[in-house]
Chains A and B, each alone.
Chain A
């Protein structure tokens, strides 16, 4: 590729202009463009089948259109998502488009532009007189997209899309003004690490910069939290943004080596990032003498092999060095002596993705978003019992209530909200009374939760908080590296005590043990895995102690979730004679017909899977769940063939 000449900014202007033309040609194309969200989440929802559906329908109907793969918009409830750019229409976003809907879109809309299929439409991506726009929805209106701005809108595998949208301008400016200027900008912006701890990136960079050795910068894309996928989405949907952030960070600390550490379970992210690196290299945005600035940097991709603890900085370095991923004590801090003893900076994907915007717009701009001590935005992956789950980017400082109720549409199916678990597996469980807590590093810490890497689980009234604590403790115990006593053995005891409470064998003294072990594990553990692992236990004990007591003293699970403490029965008043919707769903054949041709459950056989609750038609809604099991009323049930009550007698 022929490289432009001049200063970095001039050279980038040439690249940007060429990219702009290429993208504009595409936009002006007389052929409609179909963009399908093909990040891992979209694929899981069937995006590749959707593409096949489009291809087939286009061929069958003799319609010409171009299909492009884009990343993820973050609206998981609506996948597979498709944007159609049809000449004369604004770009239109459609939801839940499977192969069937693809066929309909081709025949009704793409063929002749007659019917834009309102039934699948979410809205127009741009303001328009004839269509609702995305901004009409609270989910879009209240979000503040800085890092995710381009996600799902650009083709992640085409560097021109990123360049045309102003990409790498920050890098060119940084190269021209120098690494120290970049460092000062990021410091002034008070960009706090988005990987969990919230340590200011600029301060960390400064430490490394002061050590006179080859410096290393690593992007932490390990993302081991179950249920979290914002880093994967950013890597897959806008790889050049992360890459530009990484190069800027390298420039700021004067790094000679740069690496992406991406978990091997993210093959698509690895593939897309490798392509992005190659494309950037081809345009001299990487490699030797970047944009003629004299700054040289190569970037590699390392596939981490999947232990949660490998996301911890020192364990990550150990894993990179070919050893077992085990944390080590600090000091020395990696910023002083990390990979191969060299000063090493590790930053999260979101942290680095924020850097280009800060450099482009200046640190004052960054401070206008978010709160004083936590400027900028936060990205959450919202999962659980909520109407609109998915990835949400909000300014720091919004309240949990606003996020859950206004932006994510509140709890599903009209149920009541019980708690939110924030911060990943070692985050805290907060009750409804703390929903006015602001989302920022310090406020969350104050109430016993944490920002973590941005997992947010919404739990409704049917969730047992003891079981939730057990679930997360089971995860952290299984992921403990086994090195230090408190974490390895302490979390095991926590898990065992919680387990015994959920099966009705807990003892009241053990609540004290839970507290004592938890505080010891927090104080005594070597790394933050152990230091935060007891958070779910302590917060549920603090805010939902009555549930613990009910399990222990009354053998009752208030949420009727713990199997040993609950039982199902069929309310004969509500059950419809002759209906047998539930019979086939029972895996243990525990449901039998009663003498009056209704249904009942044989408690001996019932494994309490709850399948019958879903099988029972909503108009009858006859399956009841009680805790403790003794609460099953005596309805005088007789099996049909017992002889006690034949059909004639009735």
Chain B
């Protein structure tokens, strides 16, 4: 990234930024919100996979992912054209069509990024327009010694795969399978030392936007609380 500062126009607003910086964080810094799930600030090479951050750039034939679009002098960007709003809506609807929607009993309730994006896009968390897809996964996968994975909640953003790959201690999370069966998988978790390292790290559980990955300990505590509340509710009316 050079030190040169350039001026760009986003939704009619002129803003300045270092030339070559990724467009998405530049917009966020200037209070122009663009939704995203897969992007993390520290990524040098964003995967651009969730496709929620698409924007229009004048002169380009197709929408581009702002998370890895370098800023150039004079660039004219639209984050709210009809076409972009439509694409975002469709992408969001697709995402929630695969989601179980049990927010009340979810560990990420109220901190869930999907909920925040729903609010921003004025979209319901349960889509009526598309059929609900019940993905062919188990409710929980608990064979990792310290991690609990709830694949039906997973939006496959890949953040966990990224943070895990940054971890010097080795590569333990990756995508597996294809198409609608794509899932996050653990590799090498049968090795005990790795598991202990996971217990010390838990970076993946911290960046999961939806609460699909959590530490077993936390998850158990949370579930116990939920059960307790449910019991109390049941007992109250009687």
Contacts and interface: CB of A to CB of B under 8 A. Distances in A.
Interface of A: 307, 309, 324, 326, 328-329, 477-486, 488-493, 496, 513, 516-517, 520, 523-526
B178 interface: yes
B157 to A, nearest CB: 9
Interface stretch (B25-33, B71-79, B125-133, B191-199): B125-133
Contacts of A490: 90, 94
A481 B178 contact: yes
Interface in B39-79: 45-52, 54, 62-63, 65, 68
The dominant DSSP class at the B interface is loop
B140 interface: no
Given A489-B97, A513-B129, A525-B51, 9 more contacts: A329-B46, A479-B178, A480-B179, A482-B180, A485-B52, A488-B179, A491-B179, A493-B94, A524-B90
B27 to A, nearest CB: 18
B87 A482 contact: no
15 contacts: A307-B178, A326-B175, A329-B46, A329-B48, A482-B179, A485-B52, A486-B90, A491-B179, A493-B131, A493-B133, A516-B90, A517-B90, A520-B86, A520-B90, A524-B51
A331 B47 CA distance: 12
Interface string B170-191: 0000110111111000000000
A486 B51 contact: yes
A490 to B, nearest CB: 6
B133 A492 contact: yes
Interface in B146-163: 155-156, 158
A491 B90 CA distance: 12
Contacts of B65: 329, 526
Contacts of A516: 90
Contacts of A513: 129-130
Contacts of B62: 523
Nearest to A509: B129
A485 B131 contact: no
A484 B87 contact: no
A456 B91 CA distance: 32
A375 B98 CA distance: 47
Contact of A520 (B50, B87, B98, B155): B87
Nearest to A522: B62
Contacts of B177: 482
Interface centre among A326, A478, A479, A489 (most CB of B within 10 A): A489
B156 A482 contact: yes
Contact of B174 (A309, A324, A526): A324
B90 A482 contact: no
B95 interface: yes
A483 B175 contact: yes
B87 A524 contact: yes
Nearest to A497: B131
Contacts of B182: 480-483, 488
B51 to A, nearest CB: 5
Contact of A480 (B63, B83, B133, B178): B178
A485 B175 contact: no
B68 A486 contact: no
B175 A324 contact: yes
B97 A523 contact: no
Contacts of B52: 485
Contacts of B174: 324
B47 A483 contact: yes
A513 to B, nearest CB: 7
Given A523-B62, A523-B63, A523-B87, A488 B175 contact: no
A489 B51 contact: no
Contacts of A517: 90, 94
Contact of A489 (B68, B95, B158, B178): B95
A326 B47 CA distance: 10
A526 B46 CA distance: 12
Contacts of A328: 45, 47
A484 B157 CA distance: 8
Nearest to A489: B94
Contact of B50 (A477, A482, A485, A492): A485
Interface string B111-145: 00000000000000000011101000000000000
A230 to B, nearest CB: 25
Given A329-B65, A490-B94, A484 B51 contact: yes
B55 to A, nearest CB: 12
B98 to A, nearest CB: 6
B133 to A, nearest CB: 6
A493 B127 CA distance: 13
In the complex, the 6 A-B pairs of residues with the closest C-beta atoms, listed nearest first? A482-B182, A489-B94, A520-B90, A329-B48, A492-B180, A480-B179
A224 to B, nearest CB: 12
A24 B33 CA distance: 75
A481 B68 CA distance: 20
B98 A489 contact: yes
A149 to B, nearest CB: 38
Interface in B2-49: 45-49
B178 A493 contact: no
A309 B86 CA distance: 27
A469 B154 CA distance: 29
A329 B83 CA distance: 21
Contacts of B175: 324, 326, 481-483
A433 B156 CA distance: 43
Interface centre among B63, B68, B180, B182 (most CB of A within 10 A): B180
Given A513-B129, A523-B62, A524-B51, A329 B68 contact: yes
A406 B107 CA distance: 66
Contacts of B54: 524
Contacts of A478: 178-179
Contacts of A485: 49-52, 91, 94-95, 155
Nearest to A474: B179
Contacts of A484: 48-51
A115 to B, nearest CB: 56
